[in-house]
Structure 1
Amino acid sequence: MDAAPPPHDARGPGRLPALDVVRGVAVLGILLLNIVSFGLPEAAYLNPRAYGGWHGADLAAWLVNFVLFDGKMRGLFSFLFGASMLLVIERAEASGENAAKVHYRRMLWLLAFGLAHLWLIWHGDILTHYALVGMAAFALRNLPTGRMLVLGVMLVAASTVLFATIPLMVHHLQCCASGPAQAAEYARDLQGFARSMGVPSAADLARELALYRGDYRSIVGVRLGEHVGTPLILLWFYGPETLAYMLFGMAAFRSGLLRGEWPRYRYRRWLLICWGVALPAFVGLAFYLVREQFNLLPVVLVWVLTVPLRPPMIVGWACLILLLARPGGTFTERLAAAGRMAFTNYLATSLICTSLFYGYGLGWFGHLSRWQLYPVVLAIWAMILLWSKPWLARFRFGPLEWVWRSLARGRWQSFRGAASV
């Protein structure tokens, strides 16, 4: 509206309000996708035909999320993680600290938080993945900005090629059985893909519904049995893409984009370029899936085709947010506060949603249709926006940010006193 936020907050040395505002949008936006994993069976995340409704308002909810938010909010979060990581490293170096020690202590404690979150609270944890990829990203922090971008593009291309093996495999399983015995084997393999990306069998759905409508001990038991190796699996499949996003975030930080330092015309120009390319492509892919009625092979194929389209959508989102943010505005300040407490708000969201949807809480799992999940999202957004700013008016950090910072630095940090937000 008026201008992008200034590069530094006059009320607190070294604060970058632009980063906080974009992070605030990301931590709210990521719930638009995570709510599906909290409230519906696993396959519904990628395939609305699997569960939760795929007509009318349910289809509209899927379309909006697929085109504008799916993968983009996670990617934006990853951009910001890379930018914030670089900021912490540069400040450590400027103050004469051992940057490697500071960084790896932060990542090791983040890994510990993430594993606790993954195994004890929710299987959709992203913190563990960020900690592992962040450890690798440290070695690339001093690359020139241009090389960061080139390497990021190469990693996205490598991810696309890696993911492309999945639709090739599905196509082979669907068409290339050489006899009855092999056809039966291929059908079993296809059912494995259907459990996560297609339409699961009634028996598979019944088992998942029974599990998450059950007690805490049963859920954690399955989680510990099935997700012990999840961090390494995610690192293999999604690590290159996430590392690319962190590199893009570091480059965007250095260029001034995520600092809020670009002139408005430059944000507008890159928004038009990025969304002018990617947005029509996402719309086309969405209508292709609707036309194909979300059959397994089209779903898997589109999942691959979105990989190279996500980075320009993410850059466009960052530009749009900073164009709309009004310095000093009430809503902008509340978004910045939510972003500064992103760690606390992310984990609080998991605690709230698992308490609402799982059997040891209210047991809503599988009882709401897709569109009915979004009033829940709005209510949680309101809570985050209402509580973050008053908290930071009294305390320097969010509660979990304070614990993480204290553990990473090896001493309890000063907690009381208003933060600059």
Structure 2
Amino acid sequence: MESDQGQSYHAQDGHVQAGQAAAARFDAAGWDAVGREGDGTAAIGPEPAGAMVPRPGPVFAALDVGTNNCRLLIARPARGGFRVVDAFSRIVRLGEGLSRTDRLSDEAMGRTLSALKVCRSKIRRRGVTALRAVGTEACRRADNGAEFLERVESETGIHVEIISAGEEARLALAGCAPLLDPALARAAVFDIGGGSTELMWLELRRGRPHLIDQISVPLGVVGLTERFGGDRVSPDSYRGMVEEMREALRPFARRNALAREVARGRVQMLGTSGTVTTLAGIRMGLPRYDRSRVDGTWLSRVDATAIAGDLRALDFQGRASHACIGRDRADLVIAGCAILDGIWETLPVPRLRIADRGVREGILAELAAAARQR
């Protein structure tokens, strides 16, 4: 379970708006089977004796089926926002091999289904009354993405909607917006994913973010790692990844005059992804990753560059032994650092604010806002 259980989030009215697709609603009593957690897998069967009895009142769930991770947050309304009561995250690598075949592999789909059955168990046990589940780049891109999600619904009862890159970015912004500094007129918000990277260019008016432009770059940590390797990465290979990201952002930077805006000193940057949270955890010297300490902290470009250099000097085993990385991310973190370098070369601000929040928190904020309106 993630450390965000019990954490509260708040959003002012007007910062988030209703999603383009309505959240799925269901009666929790309608589930006819439930998975049981133990070793991290899920088994289908009846509700175990002594299972949690849900408290009355609305309970929201947000499920993000990403290219690399399957993530769930369950929350209750609290003082204009929501309070997380349960969480789950597992690296499933749904997009593994996708860049070569344009299809989701049987192994990747199996891993993801196993994780989703754990999510179903938590949803059932917590008495969730409103759920929105979304699929991102891997599901969008794969020839068999829609077919896989039909199988998910058949085997778990969870309907997962494939959302556009624009909707993904909008939800990530809804989750991260409270961390933006209202005193700065411009903001760049990015999300480095497994299959793509989203970047938004914003104007803050009376402290509220308004989208000026956005781009979805089909470069993510899973695809780049498959192409360039995840053990020892040569300086030339690393620079090649940085240049790919920089070139992909060049038209976006030109049409929005990003260099000029940064030179004026009125641009802030906010990042959300496993890459930036990992770098922040390393910079803080955490003995193990702690979301409550990382979310909202700052990371300077100088520190990030130094840490990335240290990580590139290690092999897979060396990175895997680090408390804030582990084996699941040891091969992906170098590609993430390269993508971040490409962003930083495009937007050379001195420091970055770290958000360990995103699509799921955006979904929950909108579910909570809709409940208040009702």
Could you say which TM-score interval applies, normalised by the shorter chain?
A: under 0.3
Calculate the TM-score normalised by the size of structure 1. Answer: 0.25
Q: Which of 1 and 2 has higher RCO (CA within 8 Å, sep 6+)? A: 1
The answer to which structure has the higher strand fraction is: 2
| Rg comparison, structure with higher value | 1
Calculate the TM-score normalised by the size of structure 2. Answer: 0.27
